Every structure is written in structure tokens, then in C-alpha cells.
Amino acid sequence: MSEKKHGVAVPKEIKERYERLKETVEKYRYEYHVLDKETISPEALDSLKYELSNIEKQYPGLITSDSPSQRVAGEPLKEFSKITHAVSQWSFDDAFTEEDAKEFDARVRRFLKNRLGREITPTYTCELKIDGLKIVLTYEKGVLQTAATRGDGKVGENVTANVKTIQSVPITLTQNVGVVVEGEVWLSKSNFQKLNALQKKRNLPLYANPRNVAAGSIRQLDPKIVEERNLDTFIYDIASFQNPILATQYDELKLLRTLGFKTNPNFRHCKNIEEVVTYWKEWQKKSTKEDYLLDGIVIKVNERAYQEVLGYTGKSPRFAIALKFPAEQVTTIVEDIVLQIGRTGILTPVAELKPVRVAGSVVARATLHNEDEIRRLDVRIGDTVILQKAGDVIPDIVSVVGGMRTGKEKQYRFPDRVSECGGNGAIERIPGEAAWRCVNKNSFAQQKRKLYHFTSKKAFNIEGLGPKIIDALLEHQLISSYQDIFSLTKDELSALPRFGDKSSENIINSIESAKDISFPRFLIALSIPHVGEGVANDLADTFGTLANLQHASFAELERLSGIGPIVATSVSDWFSDAHNKKIVDGLLSHVHVQKHSAAKGALSGKTFVLTGTLSLLSRDEAKERIRKSGGKVLESVSKTLDYLVAGEKPGSKLGKAQTLGVSVLTERAFLDMIQKG
């Protein structure tokens, strides 16, 4: 037996096979794209889709709008038509702090009490705020009719053909109902990396971030291009439903999943605002571990009856608010620019700012690096600037908000003299560099900072001997040089104000423990210009002993990978200087510098940059593990970098790595790499 479809006879067994294929493809599509369960391989699923497509080619009369093949329209659209939303689309008011969240809770309680005449204790449902593009989906009798962008809240763009290409969007629901739902279209970080790798291979411009790609993709006129982007969705709200409204927001999210939509699994019912704040703080730490971008949480009054009472303002619901994660970029005012003297005599310009909270802490100062950076930014005293502290500890001025200028701002010029430089205070710009320095290389301010650095964790790591103690020792003339530290006695320390026997004994023990030091840390401690952690380890790997390095020629130094003529000159000149030779000899009379062997292991020949906050080990521990496994730690991201290890709140380095196609590792993947090796 066969039946005719549009004049073409369809054998019964073919029709039955076709219907089963539709059901099976839909089942595996739902499990793979919504439930994240790979019950069959993607290749097997593709094979089923291929068979279904071939049947439709032979019997086009079988094709219906809910067929899996109809996710991709055949021809590019010339333009988008408009859709008037059946339900107005609102935007959330924003909150930024714990105090803001508690004020929202108090506001909700006041409003409910005024309207209902009694004290009300609402509960809340919290959801992650996905950084993507809002989409509105309309279903009739369980079948997708239209998909529209938010637009102006009243009218959006008809992007139905493009949304059908998104595998997590059901074309047919599990129930034969009419419903309008809202959600977010997003592009995963991993797919963003693949997309940029393809752009790079094609010598095309790289994309800036996943959110922009998602928004740009959904507005492509050719649905086939959209399909290639592998977009995804999370549906989070029912705007209109033919059945009775559910009692709570929490139940609504569960219903959405039952209907076949992909919802974010990390929503939580909170009994009070304190639990809401706890959820918010948890996700500040966990946000970067997800494969999608999120910039905060959404707090909604859980009880639907209370939502109805609270209603809406002119632009947003009173029953919900977006609580953003601590801002990584803010604006503030440059109140002054001052110079800070470093341990090598370099003068660093520092902007003194109107205090502002950024990335969870209050910032009042930001480095401007050097004179060229001030000119590049054209930053002036009195300017309004954009400040960034994204993952990195030191805040940075990103740019000036030029439109905020009044004409009263003052340009900064380096002075002729700086009193803290000692002597006549003369300063000079280093030939061929952007930096200025004190002409006098032995000013008190400079020597003090050298001593701070000498005892710090990255150098001799003398516990308890921090800047305040160093200041006290200098003030009482107990030390004036590095080697004096190793001659201190318990009695001398005990005589200092607010020093007891126990604290003095602890410092003496720390000094004693520090006398056996690795070669790289010894080099770091000496404050040789241009010799930081990376260079110190490179020098130690190459020369092995201090004696070998002391006798190295400029030519030998310059030949080293990553050293270059500036660093080679600095190291060669430093060890040739008679005063510095005395410093080293004096130290060697007290300390032992270990012989160094270049590590070989699983990471040999590989380069790494660390960014963000690591949760399983400290930044220094991570660097040590890389070096012990034969790898090399760098400070900046470039196209030659092998891996970026990204912790929580990774900042701008992550974006640059993704743009350049550099492999990005989570902390766990990084540790697995070392352990497997």
C-alpha cells in the first residue's frame, strides 16, 4: 500500500521509516543539545539526518515544518520582516553590590506591604545572567511559528529561519500548547575559539568576543552561515501561556524543560536575600569555568502572585533585578599624577584617582607605566578615564572619556628634578627607552625599595621582614646594605620599639633559613635592571652557576633566546661594576647560592602565560610547577605563545589569546597536563 503526497506515491514502509527517522533524530537532538547527553556519536546522528534528507529529496511531499531538515532554509533572506510582540519585552534594572540587593529586597517588601496591607516575606529564584542576545519564540499547537529579536520591546526582527538552525531550539514541543517564551542566544567560548582559528586560517579579521558573534550571527541573511556558527540557547521565561499560570518562577523553569527547551541548570530557589547574595558570590568565583559568558545573576520574586502585585515600572519589572558581577571596567577622575621611584631608579608615573570600586575592591591609584603611555592615552590631570582591573592585580587606565573634558584639564610633563632621587634630584630619560630614571643611582628612596625587594617572597623570602620592619631597621641604622641583614642579632631586633623576644627570634630564624638560596632567586634579589623572574630563570638555565654568569661576555648573553641587546648590556654592565662585585662578594660571605640545572619534563620547550585567579594553587606555585616540568613562564600573550592558563576573572589576556588562536587551558586541564607528563 502507498499513499499519494502532492501527486507522488509514497510507499507505506517509506512513510513509516520517515516518521521514525523524524522522531529518532528529534530524540537524539534533544539529548545532545539540550540534556548534553551523547547517547550516540555526532557522526551517527549525522547519518540519520542524511537518510532523512534523502527520503525528503525523493518524496518532497512528506516535508512538514517540524522536520529536522527545516532548521536550515534554502535561500538567504533579502531582509528581515518585523514582528510585533504579543507581550511587551522589558529590560531589568541593574544592581552592583550586596547593599543594592538588600535594598531591592526591602523595596519589594515595602511595596507588597503597602498593596496587601500586611508584612510579606517573599522568596526568590536566582538564575545566571547569560551574556548573549535576547530571543522571543512563539509556538502554536506545540509548533514553532516565529522567532524574533527583542527590538525596541514592542517590535522585533523576524529571525525565524536563523533560529531554526540552532539545535537546542525545539521546532515541536513535547505538548500541543500555545506559548510565548523568552531566552538568550549565545555562542560557546570553545566554538568562538574554533571560529577565530578558521578566520585566521582564511586570513580574515578575527572576531572580538562571543557575544558579538552571537548577535551578528542571528542577524545574518543566510541561515546556512548561522548554522555553521553552532549557536546555542537557554530559555528562561514564559511570557504567555494558554494554560493557567504556574504558582512559582521555579516551577516555570521546570516546565520549560519539560516542554523541551534548554534551560540553564544552575538556577536556585533562595529563601531570603542572604541566600541570594551567597549564590551571587559563589558564581563570581565559578563564572569563568563555564563555556558561556555570564555577567551576573537575575533575581526574581519566586511567587507568581506577588509578581502580579508588584507589576512593572515604565521599563522594567518591579519583581526582578539583574545583580551584576563586580565591574571589571569603571570610570573615575584623575586627581593628580605623581612619580614613584623604583628599586632600579626608574620613575614610574602613577595616577592618583578619585576612589572607585572595580572588580570587587576600591582603587585609588593606577600605574601609567611611562611617558610614552601618558602621551598615547593623552591622559591629563582632571580627565575622566576608563579604569580596568580584569583578572590582573594592577589596575590600568584603558582610555580617556574625551567627551567629558571641560578644558580645565592639565597636561603632565616630567619635571627636571625629583627631590627623592637624592643629590641635586636630577632625572634623565634612558636613551632608546620610554622610561625616566634618577641620575643618582644610590638615593635613599631607591636603596629602601631595593631592600624591600631583596627580602620579598620572589627573592630571599625572609618571612616577617617586610617594608615596615625594613623602615625601622634603617631608621635605627641597623642595616644599610643587603649583607647587613645577615649580621642582625636577636638582641638588636629586641631593642626595637614593639619588638619582643619571640618576634625577634622568628625573624632571625627566617634569615637563617634564607641563607641557602636558588640561583634564579638570588639573581632576582640583586635588582639588576631588566632581570625579573623570566630572565633570571633563563640565565640560570643557561649558565648553571653564579661564577659562570659573572664571567659571561656580552656576546654570550645576547645570543640567548629572549634576552636581546638591552638585557645583555644591563647584565654585563652590572656584573662588571666594581661596586656591584663588592655587593655579591659580601653576600657570598653569608649565603650559599645553589647550582642550577635546567629542568626537563612534560612541558619542555613549551611557553605559558598565567592569568586570573587560580583556586587550586597560587600563581607562584603554578610558575614553579611549569619550570620544574621544563616549561617557560612568560608575562605577555603573543602569537608564538603555546598556552594561556586561565583562572577565575582572567581579564584581557584571555581575549587576546582567543583572538590570536592561542590554546587556553583551565587550571584543572593545566594540572592534568603536568600529571600525565
Residues acting as catalytic residues: 129
What is the spatial distance between Cα 624 and Cα 458, in angstroms, rounded to a whole number?
11
Alpha helical stretches, state H, 408-497: 444-454, 467-475, 490-494
Residues found in the chain: 677
Closest CA to 333 of 390, 393, 409, 394: 409
Sign of the dihedral defined by the CA atoms of residues 552, 556, 561, 564, in that order: positive
Sign of the dihedral defined by the CA atoms of residues 554, 560, 566, 570, in that order: negative
User: Residue 387 in contact with residue 396, Cβ under 8 Å?
Assistant: yes
Distance of CA 20 to the CA centre of its chain: 45
* Residues in contact with 33: Cβ distance below 8 Å, sequence separation at least 6, in sequence order: 167, 168, 232, 262
Strands 643-646 and 607-611: parallel
Sign of the dihedral defined by the CA atoms of residues 429, 433, 434, 440, in that order: negative
Query: Phi and psi dihedrals of 244, rounded to 5?
Result: -60, 145
Distance between start and end Cα atoms, the chain: 64
Query: Phi and psi dihedrals of 228, rounded to 5?
Result: -65, -20
Q: What is the DSSP string of 193-249?
A: HHHHHHHHHTT-PPPS-HHHHHHHHHT-S-HHHHHHT--EEEEEEEEEESSPPPSBH
What is the spatial distance between Cα 180 and Cα 84, in angstroms, rounded to a whole number?
13
How many CB atoms are located within 10 Å of the residue 556 CB? 16
- The owner of cell 589576556 is 653
Residue 201 corresponds to which cell in the numbers above? 586560517
Residue 376 corresponds to which cell in the numbers above? 598615547
* 3-state SS assignment for residue 65: coil
What is the spatial distance between Cα 554 and Cα 584, in angstroms, rounded to a whole number?
19
The amino acid sitting at 259 is L
What is the spatial distance between Cα 519 and Cα 539, in angstroms, rounded to a whole number?
9
CA dihedral 170, 173, 178, 182 (to 10 degrees): -40
What is the spatial distance between Cα 402 and Cα 405, in angstroms, rounded to a whole number?
6
List C-alpha distances in Å: 29 to 62, 146, 250, 255. Answer: 20, 20, 25, 19
Give the CB-side neighbour count of residue 20, counting CA atoms within 13 A: 7
User: Residue 622 in contact with residue 614, Cβ under 8 Å?
Assistant: yes
| CB crowding 127-151: b at 16 or more within 10 Å, else e | bbbbbbbbbbbbbeebebebbbbbb
Beta strands in 45-97 (DSSP E): 82-84, 94-95
What is the spatial distance between Cα 490 and Cα 496, in angstroms, rounded to a whole number?
10
